[in-house]
């Protein structure tokens, strides 16, 4: 975030417990105006509680919530300029799509003509004009999701909060809705905070991603930054598919090479604050392993599993007692079969180095 960016949202030292369970633990992050910001992590890391705290649905135990520079920590829900779309859609089943759209505007005492205009504009934008007189239970899952989204958008919120909104959709609908949400974000330039446990959603949609663990943000950055520079093994394991290969290693006396089951490896990244003999983990992305060419230094390996995935193929090999996965173009893997011996080469500039004890990056 640059100094010229206007902050839409700032959370400072937010903590929240439910009895003995700590949902948020000194959580802090900032979101610039107009950003598509993703909260990413598995279930029970605090994503939903974070969104509900921003919306004012959950009071904090400590910390501060600011929206466009205004302290709203204890402010009522209505005045925050925030709207939230829930995982369950939360539509009114007895009301038509038109009435679902109109309801929040009626609550805000908007005039009848303005309500009608905004409902029709929103329906057209979400391709729901032909569904306005239908009730939610007669709609497809994707249409219900669009109604839930439209009911939030019609209020013209300063910040739109989305809590795992695509979880209940099938794969094709999830793909279509990802594209739709990105289009709406570009069209309106609104600030979106989007919570998801899905890596593909996080990487394909987020301009900036906050990786969460145990109620706190452990690393924040662009998709490229998180992929290329993970701060620890937790982030390294969450970003990138297939997941990063991890190899046990020991730092050599020259402070540059590592003894591993694959032999000596010399990453180009320089270690810091380490001693020879320190236990480490070397992380190698499957895309940074390849079949060795003529004259390349190589490691002997044997193929034990082949997973064709269309334009690429995931090859699992065994080398030095370690199981490794590499991703190859489909054309390069057509002649391979389990049991084949294959020489593999590692791009030394792409090897990540972590401390074995803490999982923190050593570079």
Query: Are 263 and 224 contained in the same domain?
Result: no
**Model confidence pLDDT, tens digit, residues 295-338:** 888 999 999 999 999 899 999 999 999 999 999 999 888 899 99
pLDDT higher than 70, residue 3: no
Q: How far apart are CA 67 and CA 151, in angstroms?
A: 21
| Per-residue pLDDT at 2 | 44
| Per-residue pLDDT at 221 | 97
Query: Are 101 and 225 contained in the same domain?
Result: yes
Query: Are 104 and 137 contained in the same domain?
Result: yes
| Per-residue pLDDT at 208 | 97
| Per-residue pLDDT at 32 | 96
* Average pLDDT in the chain: 92
| Per-residue pLDDT at 307 | 95
Query: Are 33 and 179 contained in the same domain?
Result: yes
| Per-residue pLDDT at 167 | 80
Of 214, 237, 260, the one marking the end of a domain is: 237
Q: How many domains is the chain built from?
A: 2
Query: Are 127 and 152 contained in the same domain?
Result: yes
Question: What angle do helix axes 141-153 and 112-125 make, rounded to 10 degrees?
Answer: 140
Contacts with 71 (C-beta within 8 Å, 6 or more apart), sequence order: 64, 65
pLDDT higher than 80, residue 51: yes
Q: How far apart are CA 173 and CA 165, in angstroms?
A: 11
| Per-residue pLDDT at 273 | 84
Specify if 192 maps to a domain: yes
Q: What is the average per-residue pLDDT within 172-187?
A: 84
Q: How far apart are CA 147 and CA 123, in angstroms?
A: 8
Share of the chain above pLDDT 90, in %: 74
In this prediction, residue 133 has a pLDDT band, given cuts at 50, 70 and 90, of: very high
Q: What is the average per-residue pLDDT within 127-152?
A: 90
pLDDT higher than 90, residue 195: yes
Query: Are 147 and 233 contained in the same domain?
Result: yes
| Per-residue pLDDT at 125 | 83
Specify if 345 maps to a domain: yes
Residue 248 lies in domain: 244-355
**Model confidence pLDDT, tens digit, residues 14-43:** 999 999 999 999 999 999 999 999 999 999
Specify if 253 maps to a domain: yes
Q: Return the higher-pLDDT residue of 168 and 48.
A: 48
Residue 101 in contact with residue 154, Cβ under 8 Å?
yes
Q: How far apart are CA 28 and CA 216, in angstroms?
A: 7
| Planar angle of CA 193, 197, 203, nearest 5 degrees | 70
Q: What is the average per-residue pLDDT within 205-234?
A: 96
**At 269, which CATH number?**
2.40.50.140
Query: Are 260 and 306 contained in the same domain?
Result: yes
Q: Which residue has the tokens 């070397």?
A: 282
Q: What is the average per-residue pLDDT within 149-168?
A: 88
Q: How far apart are CA 21 and CA 248, in angstroms?
A: 34
Residue 302 in contact with residue 342, Cβ under 8 Å?
yes
pLDDT higher than 60, residue 4: no
Q: What is the average per-residue pLDDT within 188-215?
A: 94
**Model confidence pLDDT, tens digit, residues 96-127:** 999 999 998 998 889 999 999 999 988 988 88
| Per-residue pLDDT at 85 | 87
pLDDT higher than 70, residue 347: yes
Of 237, 263, 292, the one marking the end of a domain is: 237
| Planar angle of CA 103, 116, 95, nearest 5 degrees | 35
Query: Are 254 and 229 contained in the same domain?
Result: no
Of 198, 215, 237, the one marking the end of a domain is: 237
**Model confidence pLDDT, tens digit, residues 254-297:** 999 999 999 999 999 989 888 899 999 999 999 999 999 888 88
């Amino acid at each position: 975030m640059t100094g010229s960016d206007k902050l839409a949202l700032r959370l400072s030292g937010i903590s929240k417990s439910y009895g003995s369970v700590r949902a948020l633990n000194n959580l802090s992050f900032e979101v610039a105006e107009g950003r598509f910001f993703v909260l990413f992590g598995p279930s029970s890391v605090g994503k939903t509680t974070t969104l509900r705290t921003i919306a004012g649905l959950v009071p904090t135990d400590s910390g501060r919530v600011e929206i466009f520079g205004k302290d709203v920590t204890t402010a009522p829900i209505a005045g925050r300029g925030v709207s939230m779309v829930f995982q369950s859609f939360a539509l009114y089943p007895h009301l038509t799509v038109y009435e679902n759209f109109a309801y929040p505007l009626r609550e805000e005492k908007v005039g009848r003509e303005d309500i009608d205009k905004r409902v029709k504009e929103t329906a057209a934008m979400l391709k729901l004009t032909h569904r306005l007189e239908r009730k939610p239970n007669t709609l497809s899952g994707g249409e219900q999701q669009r109604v839930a989204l439209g009911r939030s958008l019609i209020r013209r919120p300063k910040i739109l909060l989305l809590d795992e909104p695509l979880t209940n959709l099938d794969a094709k609908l999830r793909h279509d809705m990802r594209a739709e949400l990105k289009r709406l974000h570009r069209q309106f330039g609104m600030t979106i905070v989007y919570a998801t446990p899905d890596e593909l959603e996080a990487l394909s949609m987020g301009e900036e991603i906050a990786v969460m663990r145990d109620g706190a943000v452990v690393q924040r950055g662009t998709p490229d930054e998180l992929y290329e520079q993970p701060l620890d093994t937790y982030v390294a394991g969450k970003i990138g598919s297939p997941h990063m290969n991890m190899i046990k290693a020991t730092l050599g006396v020259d402070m540059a090479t590592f003894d591993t089951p694959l032999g000596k490896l010399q990453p180009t990244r320089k270690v810091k604050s380490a001693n020879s003999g320190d236990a480490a983990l070397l992380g190698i992305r499957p895309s940074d392993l390849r079949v060795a060419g003529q004259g390349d230094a190589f490691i002997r390996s044997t193929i034990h599993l082949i997973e064709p995935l269309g334009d690429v193929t995931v090859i699992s090999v065994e080398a030095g007692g370690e199981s490794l996965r590499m991703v190859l173009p489909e054309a390069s893997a057509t002649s391979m079969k389990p049991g084949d011996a294959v020489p593999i080469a590692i791009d030394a500039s792409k090897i990540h180095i972590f401390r074995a004890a803490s999982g923190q990056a050593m570079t």
